[in-house]
Structure 1
Amino acid sequence: MPLKNIHPTAKVVAVAGLLLGMASSAQAQVSGNATLTSDYVWRGSSQTREDPAIQAGVKYAHESGLYASVWGSNVKFKPDNGARSEFDLAVGWSGKIATDWALDVYLLRYQYPSANTNLNWNEINASITWRDNYWLAVGHSNNAMATDTTGTYALLGARYPINDQWRIEGSVARYVLDSAYADSYTHGALGVVWTFKAPFEARLTLHGSDSAAKRLFPGMAGSRAEFAIQASF
């Protein structure tokens, strides 16, 4: 069957299976993370109505730079549409493109299996990082947030290591949703991260979004603080 006739979820799973098959015959690396956070904030908006979230992910990377990953979290939207969990499936490539530069390109599938309406959608993403501390990320979808219309997201981020235990991170981003919502919005984040006992980290992040975000996502966007503890392996 031609790939274009396969369901989008099946495409991601099929590509992921291909990558994992390649990895079985060559050197590969498995990594993962687990997080307990006071609020799941995505692109400036709470995805849990400001309630806590438990999150975990795993990534299987081939030595060529190809990888497949899955990440999950509990969610609760406003208005309530039955969604209680989110699973993000990704396949992509990442690697060095110059001495100080790294590139990451991937296809991301957002899945909400318990929703009483179809919230699933795909997004193509790319990010470029300089010296591990400055990055530009862009995402685009023809079905942004399952609206059957386009959306483009751009983020500029930076981190400043203070010492081996402490660092400061910040970002500013713009989400262009003119086709879906006849509006666009800007949001930003500023946080401090403490590696108190590797691989465990504690993070305090302040989030803020403009008035357009509050109009688009009332009760979900706005100013808020998020505290999280994360472990990576």
Structure 2
Amino acid sequence: MHTFKLFIETTRIYNVIKKITKLCLAGTLALGSMGTALAADEAATSPFAAENFSATLTFTSNYIYRGLSFSKDDPAIQGSFDWSYGNVFAGIWASSLADQSGSGYELENDFYIGYANSFAGIDWYVMPIYYHFYDDSTKDTAGAEADVFEIWLDASYAINDTVSVHAMYAYSPDFFFESGDAHYIKADVTVNLPQGFVLNAGYGYQDVQGDNGDYVTDKGWDYTHWDIGISKDLAGFNLDLRYSDTSEDSKTDTINTGFFVDTGNTDDTVTFTVSRSF
């Protein structure tokens, strides 16, 4: 039941969410087809049945978040524990971080809950998510918090057995380090290739209004990013090799997001990721 294809945003929580929403949709269709026979096996439909839980373990050579390196171009270990039942899903995702510029942030935890459904061939979900960053006494953020709350709206559509398209929108009332309203959009296309290979390319845009200014500039900032990669399931593992870049040159441009961006964090990079779900 938990076999899946990693899709779209490599080394990021989106991979896990995509898997869980697929399970939700598959479970909903199964419930409809089983009809009254479902009542005969209450254990199989219990919210706490083992089949409703899954976990994913990931190793990546670079934790890339919307084109930016959150691990300072170093490797990261990531994992998730997830639950889905009917159209509802929830989970927790974690990743190691680089201790950048003495900030003290070395671990990220994301908590999420959502609702998934399908209409006219379009798979969609809505999901609030809370990013929490663990720190130590060495951080210096002028009192501004790194934690972020976002709401995701996501939709994907399979044009045929080979090509599918995807788009997402995320809104935050106060982005990293209390930098103000933020809007994010991304669009992707995925192509199933021979021999089980999957080609994916995406383009995203992040805009932050910067209307707070407690720690970051109050002038606001925005940037674009893009990526292209190829992945394959092999012996129970998913392997993903991906190139990504941003519109910013770390040597001449500045995206003031606190410790997340310093020299090199906006540069182009090639990332290798291996993951397995249980």
The DSSP-based 3-state class of the residue aligned with 2:275 is strand
Asked whether 1:49 is paired with 2:72, we answer yes
The 1:37–1:26 alpha-carbon spacing in structure 2 relative to 1, beyond 3 Å, is: closer
Q: Distance in 2 between matches of 1:185 and 1:89?
A: 26
Q: Distance in 2 between matches of 1:53 and 1:164?
A: 29
Asked whether 1:184 is paired with 2:206, we answer no
Select 1:82's aligned residue among 91, 97, 104: 104
Task: Tell me the CA shift for residue 165 of structure 1.
Answer: 2.0
The DSSP-based 3-state class of the residue aligned with 1:128 is strand
Select 1:39's aligned residue among 46, 62, 77: 62
Give 2:254's aligned residue.
215
Q: Distance in 2 between matches of 1:26 and 1:58?
A: 15
The 1:123–1:175 alpha-carbon spacing in structure 2 relative to 1, beyond 3 Å, is: same
Task: Tell me the CA shift for residue 194 of structure 1.
Answer: 1.9
Show structure 2 runs of 5+ residues with no match. 1-44, 212-216, 256-260
Question: 1:109-160: CA deviations, max 9, x gaps?
Answer: 0011225453112001110110182110000001111325100000001111
Q: Distance in 2 between matches of 1:152 and 1:77?
A: 26
Letter in 1 for 2:275: Q
The DSSP-based 3-state class of the residue aligned with 2:102 is coil
Letter in 1 for 2:119: I
Task: Tell me the CA shift for residue 34 of structure 1.
Answer: 1.0
Letter in 1 for 2:135: S
Letter in 2 for 1:55: Q
Task: Tell me the CA shift for residue 40 of structure 1.
Answer: 0.3
Select 1:166's aligned residue among 191, 197, 210: 197
**Aligned-residue RMSD, C-alpha:** 2.2
Task: Tell me the CA shift for residue 27 of structure 1.
Answer: 9.5
The 1:107–1:56 alpha-carbon spacing in structure 2 relative to 1, beyond 3 Å, is: same
The DSSP-based 3-state class of the residue aligned with 1:133 is strand
Task: Tell me the CA shift for residue 23 of structure 1.
Answer: 6.2
Task: Tell me the CA shift for residue 206 of structure 1.
Answer: 0.3
Task: Tell me the CA shift for residue 28 of structure 1.
Answer: 6.5
Give 2:149's aligned residue.
122
Sequence identity (%): 18
- Rg comparison, structure with higher value: 2
Q: How many residues align?
A: 209
Task: Tell me the CA shift for residue 171 of structure 1.
Answer: 0.5
Greater per-residue strand proportion: 1
Task: Tell me the CA shift for residue 77 of structure 1.
Answer: 5.0
The 1:78–1:66 alpha-carbon spacing in structure 2 relative to 1, beyond 3 Å, is: same
The DSSP-based 3-state class of the residue aligned with 2:134 is coil
Letter in 2 for 1:113: Y
Q: Distance in 1 between matches of 2:129 and 2:46?
A: 20
Q: Distance in 2 between matches of 1:23 and 1:112?
A: 33
Contact 2:154 2:169 in 1 (8 A): yes
Show structure 1 runs of 5+ residues with no match. 1-21
Select 2:91's aligned residue among 66, 69, 92: 69
Contact 2:249 2:267 in 1 (8 A): no
Select 2:134's aligned residue among 113, 120, 127: 113
